[in-house]
Structure 1
Amino acid sequence: MKTLFLIFFIGLSNLLYSQSDLYKTILSQDSLLFQVGFNTCDIGQFERLLSEQFEFFHDKGGISDKTKFLYDLRNGLCKSPGTYQSRRELIPGSAQVFPLYENGKLYGAIQYGEHRFYETIEGNPERFASTAKFTHVWILENGIWKLNKGLSYDHQAE
């Protein structure tokens, strides 16, 4: 009985450790996507992180593939940094990460969370814009985490 308990405990410890590592990895990718990419309008960061098969579903802006998404960033949100700037903040404690396996091998992760958006317009003080929920599907492509699907929904201007 003790041996069975020990095997179960070691297996559970490994699972929790790997889920913890996965959580940290995906949150790191989230930070690169938003802290570096979105908050500073670093389009190159998006280009590196998005899968070629990337699809984005937005409850206010419709569906985009990678080409349209990058075009919209360049010609919308990031067109006039001195005139308009948006900033995203992950709501602490809202992030959840769920591993995706195929035949016992990790191939991706689902990330769920909630975030707040703030905006600065023409040098005025930053102000709250909205909250939203998001779900991301991250896929390992040749050992590199890429964002494959993005869903942004339930936008609320509180």
Structure 2
Amino acid sequence: MYSKYLLKLFLVICFVGSSAIASAQVERSSELYQTILSKDSLLFTIGFNTCDISQFESLLSEHFEFFHDTDSISNRSQFLTGIRNGLCKSPATYQSRRELVSGSTEVFPLYKKGKLYGAIQHGRHRFYENIQGKPERFASEARFTHVWILEDGVWKLNKGLSYDHQTGD
């Protein structure tokens, strides 16, 4: 009787422990973490910061949805139109820059039947703006969560959430 209790306790501990390990964030040195960070850099350092719309077009899933706490929800088409006609309409008169807060990024793998199919990226980012050649100024800091999905072996951003925007005011 006592040994059955110990066996059950051992199995529960193993199950809980393996569940915790399976859902833990990956190490910063892992291939998955580095891959997601490189996609983030393409999307923001190149795409967002320089208005290279082609980066968005190649990295966003056809099923992309974007949720913003001060600007509502948009699908891929609406998001791209908003970037073209808003943020990137006239970089000479208005330019925004996104900066990833160093050390804030966490990446969590997503598995189905033991096979990696995606990742959740969570972190904080800061936004700066340059208006008509004036010195760049801090605009806001926010949290973000991105859901990256492997689509035919290619990482695509499927969901984007940007929330908890805080201004310097």
Instruction: With the length of structure 1 as denominator, give the TM-score of the two structures.
Output: 0.88
> Which structure: larger Rg?
2
Instruction: Specify the code of the residue in structure 2 equivalent to 1:65.
Output: N
Q: 2:74 is matched with which residue?
A: 64
> How far apart are 1:82 and its partner, in Å?
0.1
Question: Are the aligned partners of 1:19 and 1:99 in contact in 2 as well (CA < 8 Å)?
Answer: no
**Unaligned runs of at least 5 residues, structure 1:** 1-11
Q: Which runs of 5+ in 2 are unaligned?
A: 1-20
- SS where residue 81 of structure 1 aligns? coil
Runs of 4+ in 1 over 6 A off after TM superposition: 16-19
| TM-superposed deviation, 1:20 | 1.2
Alignment equivalent of 2:42, drawn from 32, 38, 44: 32
> Secondary structure in 2 aligned to 1:67?
helix
Residue in structure 1 matched with residue 122 of structure 2 by the alignment: 112
Over 3 Å counting, the alpha-carbon distance change for 1:140 and 1:18 in structure 2 is: farther
Q: Check conservation: 1:114, 1:132, Cα contact below 8 A.
A: yes
Q: Report the counterpart of residue 95 of structure 2 in structure 1.
A: 85
Q: Secondary structure at the match of 2:128?
A: strand
Q: 1:131 aligns with which of 141, 156, 160?
A: 141
Contact 2:27 2:33 in 1 (8 A): no
1:19/1:129 CA distance change after superposition, 3 Å: same
TM-score after normalising by structure 2 = 0.83
- Counterpart in 2 of 1:122? 132
Contact 1:57 1:63 in 2 (8 A): yes
RMSD across aligned positions (CA): 1.7
Report the AA paired with residue 81 of structure 1: P
Check the 8 A contact 1:26/1:111 in 2, yes or no. Answer: yes
For residues 5-49 of structure 1, what are the alpha-carbon distances to aligned partners after superposition, in whole Å with 9 as ceiling and x for unaligned?
xxxxxxx9xxx6798110000000000000010000111110000
Question: Taking every aligned residue pair, what percent have the same amino acid on both sides?
Answer: 72
AA matched with 2:54? G
Secondary structure at 1:145's aligned position in 2? strand
- Pair 1:101-2:111 in alignment: yes
The count of corresponding residues between Structure 1 and Structure 2 is 145
